[in-house]
Amino acid sequence: MSTPEPVAQTPQGLPLVGTAEPSTSSPATPARRCQATTRDGKPCGMTPRADSGLCFSHDPACHDQVIAAGRKGASESHRRRVIAASAQTLTLDSVDDAATLIASTLDKLIKGEMDRATANGIVYGCQVFLRTIDVRDLQRRIEALEGTQK
């Protein structure tokens, strides 16, 4: 009799969602699935925990752990998107400054040093800045033309 492999766990010792004792079913026997349904009414499809027939997410005995894992994931996701307060102060004064910032942002994104949400926010901010410069320059040209017509 072989010893079953341990259930995969998170660094905090919680079982990973969808993991359970390895399936002992043969290819002719369908694999066990969670008995619960998803929010849209479809069968869950995750592997159930050995003791309940439900996966980690649907097992009421794991409710507190599921909530804790969700909160931890949300806080870590938020933390990744916040630029450190100690980051260098940036001054955008020209189109060249915005172009340099966009190029630097894309470089960091490609290298994996910045997440997409942060890069998207920076590039969007640069687009707003560039549009503001366009409107300012257009307004100055109109004022100059109106001044010459008087």
Let me know whether 6 and 39 are in one domain.
Answer: yes
Confidence check: pLDDT of 2 > 60: no
Confidence check: pLDDT of 141 > 80: yes
Confidence check: pLDDT of 87 > 80: no
- Determine the average pLDDT of the residues in 55-74: 78
Give the pLDDT confidence score for residue 8 in this predicted structure: 58
DSSP codes of every residue in the chain: -PPPPPPPB-TTSPBPTT--SPP---TTSPPP--SSB-TTS-B--SPPPTTTSS-TTT-GGGHHHHHHHHHHHHHHHHHHHSPPTTSPP----SHHHHHHHHHHHHHHHHHTSS-HHHHHHHHHHHHHHHHHHHHHHHHHHHHHHHHH--
Residue 69: which of 7, 6, 9 has the closest Cα? Answer: 9
Q: Select from 54, 82, 110 the last residue of a domain.
A: 82
- Determine the average pLDDT of the residues in 35-45: 85
- 81 or 52, which is more confident: 52
Q: Are 138 and 146 in contact (CB under 8 A)?
A: no
Give the pLDDT confidence score for residue 147 in this predicted structure: 85
Let me know whether 91 and 132 are in one domain.
Answer: yes
Let me know whether 76 and 90 are in one domain.
Answer: no
- Determine the average pLDDT of the residues in 121-144: 94
Average pLDDT of the residues of the chain: 77
Lowest mean pLDDT among 2-6, 32-36, 46-50, 68-72: 2-6
Confidence check: pLDDT of 5 > 60: no
Let me know whether 112 and 66 are in one domain.
Answer: no
- Determine the average pLDDT of the residues in 84-88: 62
Give the pLDDT confidence score for residue 35 in this predicted structure: 83
How far apart CA 25 and CA 14 sit, in angstroms, is 25
Q: Are 62 and 36 in contact (CB under 8 A)?
A: no
Give the pLDDT confidence score for residue 19 in this predicted structure: 46
- 21 or 61, which is more confident: 61
What is the amino acid identity at position 27?
P
Which residue segment(s) compose the domain that 71 sits in?
Answer: 1-82
Domain count, the chain: 2
Give the pLDDT confidence score for residue 123 in this predicted structure: 95
Let me know whether 58 and 14 are in one domain.
Answer: yes
